[in-house]
Amino acid sequence: MVVSQGFDAALAGVLGLLVGSFLNVVVYRTPVMMYRQWLNDAVGNLAKVDGIPSLWSLVFGPKANTPPALEKAADDAAKTLDALPPFNLSRPASRCGHCGAPIRFYQNVPVLSYLFLRGRCASCKASISVRYPLVELVTGAFFALCAWRFGLSLTGALWAAFAALLICQFLIDLDTQYLPDSINYILLWLGLIGAAAGLTGVSLASAVWGAVFGYLGLWIIYHAYRLATGKEGMGYGDFKLLAAMGAWLGADYLIAIVLVSSLVGAVLGSIMLVAGKLANKNIPIAFGPFLAGAGLVCLALGPDTVRQWIPFAFPLGALAL
Ligand SMILES: [Zn+2]
């Protein structure tokens, strides 16, 4: 029993290393894809398109025309954007960020390549961030844990996906202060589907209420804080992320997630303070990494363990129908 359990975990762990390698790509490329899309939208909305009323006239009235200089600049920008080579999760092939040398498949083996190359690009010897192998190791560990706990099953795969998506959001928000909708929505839908299929151990009602109150709870705190202080402490991405996690863990879990996230924030904040990353105290730390980190902590400890450790955080247990 334990032997096959260990075998499952090892197999899933290797798969997790490979997925972690892909997550590094997702974390780096998703924001760039998002920025491109935003610029495309902005330019497309200003450029002249025959037969479609300009955004300018929709805002300033039917007789208003887009200022010619703006329209000309938008047309030029649209052409420049069109000429850009494709950029998505599969193209272009991975390159060294420093010298542009293509990364061969044998230089892309999770963790091992990093060790073999001693953390340097094979061509230009520029150092490669230790974050890449770390992400691979952490993803591998979560995959192994899910297989250990649930076997090589749909449930195990689902919780492994939960970990992978949270790792993405954790890093992307840390890097950019954004939580891409594309990833939040996959997380939300998977959580709801998992509950509906009876795979996450949370009733569908509890998952739906978890999503609703996760979103609403932070929405209310956000607007109350904004009215009281005139500052914005978080963003809509945070509401969606907590909603998604509510769908996975259930409505009664929301307070526990927020409590654990403040703990993660304290630990992460201290680490960054020691590492000197918070030199400029005016740059706010995003809330998203703490939320995503809390989800990962709850998964690592086991949702039921958290329930036993901080039972006072589950007063809404009655909602877990
Ligand atoms: Zn290089």
In a domain, 258, yes or no: yes
- Range of the structural domain that residue 296 is part of: 153-319
Q: Which two tokens stand for residue 50?
A: 């025959």
Q: How many distinct structural domains can be found in the chain?
A: 2
Q: Are residues 186 and 302 in the same domain?
A: yes
pLDDT in tens, 239-283: 999 999 999 999 999 999 999 999 999 998 888 888 776 555 555
Q: How far is the CA of 201 from the centre of ligand 1 (A)?
A: 47
Q: How far is the CA of 21 from the centre of ligand 1 (A)?
A: 18
Q: How far is the CA of 133 from the centre of ligand 1 (A)?
A: 17
Q: How far is the CA of 29 from the centre of ligand 1 (A)?
A: 18
Q: Which of 74, 93, 112 is at the close of a domain?
A: 93
Q: What is the pTM of this model?
A: 0.91
In a domain, 30, yes or no: yes
Q: How far is the CA of 117 from the centre of ligand 1 (A)?
A: 12
Q: Are residues 159 and 293 in the same domain?
A: yes
Q: Are residues 203 and 280 in the same domain?
A: yes
Q: Which of 41, 69, 93 is at the close of a domain?
A: 93
Q: How far is the CA of 120 from the centre of ligand 1 (A)?
A: 8
Q: How far is the CA of 283 from the centre of ligand 1 (A)?
A: 31
What is the per-residue burial (b if ≥16 Cβ within 10 Å, else e) of 283-301? eebbbbbbbbbbbbbbbee
In a domain, 123, yes or no: no
pLDDT in tens, 300-320: 998 888 888 888 888 765 554
Angle between helices 181-196 and 236-249 (to 10 degrees): 20
Q: Are residues 307 and 216 in the same domain?
A: yes
- Count the residues in the chain: 321
Q: How far is the CA of 225 from the centre of ligand 1 (A)?
A: 46
Q: Which of 54, 72, 93 is at the close of a domain?
A: 93
With 80 as the cut, is the pLDDT of residue 192 above it?
Answer: yes
Q: Are residues 162 and 85 in the same domain?
A: no
Q: Which long-range contacts (CB under 8 A, 24 or more apart) does 217-222 make?
A: 217/242, 217/254, 217/258, 218/242
In a domain, 112, yes or no: no
pLDDT in tens, 109-144: 999 999 999 999 988 999 999 999 999 999 999 999
